[in-house]
Structure 1
Amino acid sequence: MVRELIKGERGRVYALFVIVMLASAFGNLSQTAVNAMMPEIMGEFGLDVSLGQWLTTSYMLVLGIAVPAATYLSKRFSTRQHVFIALAFFLVGALADCLASNFAVLLAGRICQAVSTGLLLPLMQTIAMTRFPEGRRATAMGVAGIAMGFAPNIGPTIGGAMSFSLGWRSFFVLLLVAVALLAAATALLVRGGAGDRAERFDTLSFTLSALGFGGLLLGFSEASSFSIASPFVWGPLAAGAAFLVLFVRRQKRVDDPLIDMGIFSSKQYVVGFVVLCLLHASFMGVTLIIPLYVEGLCGGTALDAGIVLLPGTIAALFLNPLAGVLTDRFGIRPVTLASGLLLAVGSVLMVFIDGETPLAVTTLCQAVRAFGVSGLMGPLISWSLAGLPGRIVSDGSSFSIAGRQACASLGTSSMVLLMAVAGSLSASASAPALPYQMAFAFSAAFAVATFAFIVAKVR
């Protein structure tokens, strides 16, 4: 009887984890799929790259702002209610994007989807770290890597294929149907107790968090359109940093902090946080640059851009869980050393591609880089959160995701800025690949820094 109860409880945990993981995967899929559809969207609405890239950077911005609220939701509401709230945002956003008649409506739909993803990602990581037995947590996080690593990598391939064959709106129709099915599955499979009604939402803390992370993300995003000396860049960055300081100070003083700052008393968490931020600065923007490179310099189609990303992404579907299994068995260091080396090598090789480089070579370089990302994501997240007491794992997960989103925005915007600067140089007429090479060089610098930090600090 006891064994049956344990099996029943384990089955509910697995069902819950799969639903949240798939919903998170659709959120991250949406985040990057738009990159491959960008040329078609820009053409339909008459946008330039600086404005069009807001469909990506705003997603990062809002996701980073929404993430801290997930800690409160996980305490105040049941898991089932938490999931329903997140899925409701996603359904509204997907519907808005399906029917968007102008850029503003399309952007509003993207914002709703970003809120949903921000509420789901910390929940997924918390389930993996608190409801799975020790010795299987890295494996669970490796499976979660399908949402965190595989989904954003496959996004441009799916987006490019659907945009090429059925038009860009078809992608959001697919999301609408898929998330509606997940909502139905949640109603059927997930059960849980009520949340803590006494839990208090500290509005001031959330405001400071939103202004802090939002300011940093906005400043990084504006860096792609203005010079570093522009007040549109340093103003939001300075304000964001100031509000984050106020946020951290308030968390240490209030009885019900939005995020418990005790997370930074763990050296293991801090090291993992830094490495993950470097990783996100390196890899996220590449999913925007590669489609621009393939379509803008090589004369390819959105489908071609998706195909360049496909082999590494398909392999990553298996590498994410495998990396988790290997971490549980052999430890964090050998897995992250091997994966970090792949990331660094693949990223450096991409610096040297140009308009004459066969797409097969570009595909190989991208595959090596993607293998590295897949082998790092889940193991590093599980290792960093394993250094925290169970009661603040959700806090650590939320703050880590917000920080990673800020760094992803920094990376994406810096790559776009470098492309714009290189494109304005007179030399670019005789070196048309220079803008893309500079963007890839930025990614490579952070990839090498990621590997160096793993060598020095991850044990």
Structure 2
Amino acid sequence: METTAQSDRRAVYALFAIVVLASASGNLSQTAVNAMLSDIMGEFGMAVDLGQWLTTSYMLVLGVTVPVATYLSRRFSVRQHMFIALGFFLAGAMADLFAPNFGVLLGGRICQAVSAGMLMPLMQTIAMTRFPAGRQATAMGIAGIAMGFAPNIGPTIGGAMSFAWGWRSFFVLLVVIMAVLAAASACAIKPSAALDRSARLDVVSLALSTLGFGGLLLAFSDASSFGIASPFIWVPMLLGTLFLVLFVRRQNRVDDPLISMNIFKSAQYRAGFVAQNLLNASFMGVTLVVPLYVEGLCGGTALEAGIVLLPGTVAALVLNPLAGVLTDRIGVRPVALVSGAFLATGAVLMSFLEADTPLYVVTLCQAVRAIGVSGLVGPLTSWCLADLPRPIVSDGSSFCIAARQACASLGTSVMVFIITMAGASAAGTADPALAYQLAFGFSALMAVATFGFIVAKVR
């Protein structure tokens, strides 16, 4: 006969599986549209500068929604939290499936981003608070599939479905997935009491958080499209920084902070926070720059660019859970040191790529770098949150995710900006690869900084 402990454990596993699959769907949706963008623009007669808002808006809305997850986790039960998030996603997927114009399509994307912003902190909080000590890194490694594998495979799935059945077929898939997850949630997630029914949403804090993170994300997104002196960059950047400072100050003064700044009292959290931000600044932009390098400089095809990135996708699927298991068994430091060394080595090697470098060499360098990324995502996240008191784990998760989004956007924008500026300067010279070498060099700098920080701080 099943004991209460076994029943509770199975309930946690079922809940976690549902949240991971829902979060993976959100991250899949974020990147899949990139591969479908040309078909969407063709149907609605849009220019690129308008169409790119389908991806930019997703990133912006996800980044500003994440902090609200801390309030939702207090005010509502996990079951209610899940149904709210799944409801937003299902409504957004339905809107996109039947969208008669760009406005409806954009509104659907925004709803999906709101859902993803609600789910990602919940996923990490469940991994850190509902799994026993000795299993938390393993759980976070499994969660890494949603954070690493899903966004990497997104363009492949989106492009294949758009080519075979049209771009709307992808949203049919999302609707089916969300309907199944909603039914599974109704059956598997038991009703429970909320942590604090009296929790209040501090609207001023929400506004400051939205303007702060939103301003930075908008500035970094614009950096790849405008000159460095453009007001479209420095105005939102300055305002975003100002509002973010005001947000942090307010959290220390109000009785019901949106995110408790007590998270930064933990030295372990502070170190993990910096390491994760350096990591995201290093690796996110590479997934955009590699296709540009393969197709734009080497004269390769989109298929060849996909093959170069394939090891990263496979590594994320296999190594994220493996790194979590190893972290629980031997500790975070050896796993992080080995993975950090792979990351730094692969990133440095990529900064020496030439226009005539064989693609199998490029693939090998990318594979080495991807092994490092996949071995760091879960362990660093679990180690970062492990020292926090359980009541503020959700706060730490939310703030870290929002900051990581900003740093990923910054790293990507810097790499694209370098390619644009260096490419213009090198036009007509004998070294057309210089622009890409400098962009990969920035990624290598961030990777080496990540490894150095791990050596110094991760214990």
Q: Indicate the TM-score class for this superposition, using the shorter chain for normalisation.
A: over 0.9
| 2:383 paired with 1:383 | yes
CA distance in 2, matches of 1:326, 1:294: 35
1:293 counterpart letter in structure 2: Y
Partner of 1:116: 115
Change (3 A) 1:316 1:404: same
What is the Cα deviation at residue 185 of structure 1? 1.0
- Over 3 Å counting, the alpha-carbon distance change for 1:57 and 1:352 in structure 2 is farther
Unaligned 5+ residue runs, structure 1?
none
The reply on whether 1:207 has 2:212 as its aligned counterpart is no
* Residues 36, 302 of structure 1: 8 Å contact kept: no
| C-alpha contact (below 8 Å) 1:96/1:109 kept by paired residues | yes
Q: Deviations over 1:128-159 (max 9, x none)?
A: 11001111111111111111122222223323
2:64/2:213 contact within 8 Å kept: yes
Percent of aligned positions with the same letter in both sequences?
72
Partner of 2:60: 61
Question: How many angstroms apart in 1 are the aligned matches of 2:134 and 2:340?
Answer: 23
After TM superposition, the structure 1 = structure 2 runs for residues 256-295 of structure 1, keeping only pairs within 5 Å, are: 256-295=256-295
CA shift in 2, pair 1:445/1:100, >3 Å = farther
Mark the CA change 1:385 to 1:294 in structure 2 (over 3 Å): closer, same or farther. same
Cα distance between partner residues in 2 of 1:49 and 1:344: 34
Which stretch has the larger CA shift, 187-196 or 379-388?
187-196
Shift of 1:319: 0.7
Name the CA shift for 1:271/1:52 in 2 (closer, same or farther; >3 Å).
farther
Whether 1:16 aligns to 2:23 is no
**Gap change, CA 1:100 and 1:342, over 3 Å in 2:** farther
Structure 2 residue 361 is the aligned partner of structure 1 residue 350: no
TM alignment of 1:49-88, pairs within 5 A: 52-88=51-87
- TM-score computed with the length of structure 2 as normaliser: 0.93
The offset of 1:331, in angstroms, is 0.9
**Do structure 1's residue 26 and structure 2's residue 25 form an aligned pair?**
yes
Distance 2:40 2:418 in 1: 23
Whether the 8 Å CA contact 1:419–1:439 is kept in 2: the answer is yes
Moved more, 372-381 or 162-171: 162-171
TM superposition shift of 1:160: 3.4
Identify the residue that residue 332 of structure 2 maps to in structure 1: 332
Superposed CA deviations along residues 342-368 of structure 1, whole A, max 9, x for unmatched, are 111222222233443333332222221
One-letter amino acid matched to 1:270: R
1:36 and 1:305 in contact (8 A); partners too: no
1:109-143 per-residue CA deviation (whole Å, 9 max, x = no partner) reads 32222111110010001101100111111111111
- Superposition deviation, residue 426 in structure 1: 5.0
Asked if structure 2 preserves the Cα contact closer than 8 Å seen for 1:138 and 1:327, the reply is: yes
Following superposition, the deviation at residue 277 of structure 1 comes to 0.6
SS at match of 2:67: helix
The Cα of 1:234 is off from its aligned counterpart by 1.2
TM-score, normalising length from structure 1?
Answer: 0.93
**In the alignment, is residue 320 of structure 1 matched against residue 327 of structure 2?**
no
Give yes or no for contact 2:213–2:406 (8 Å, CA) kept in 1. Answer: yes
Q: Is the 8 A contact 1:60 1:408 kept in 2?
A: no
Q: Deviations over 1:384-424 (max 9, x none)?
A: 10111111101000000010011111112222222222333
Instruction: Name the CA shift for 1:81/1:347 in 2 (closer, same or farther; >3 Å).
Output: same
Runs of 5+ unmatched residues, structure 2: none
Q: Give the match for residue 89 of structure 1.
A: 88
Q: Given residue 83 of structure 1, which amino acid in structure 2 is its aligned partner?
A: M
Deviation at 1:261, TM superposition (A): 0.6
TM-superposed deviation, 1:205: 0.8
State the partner residue of 1:374: 374
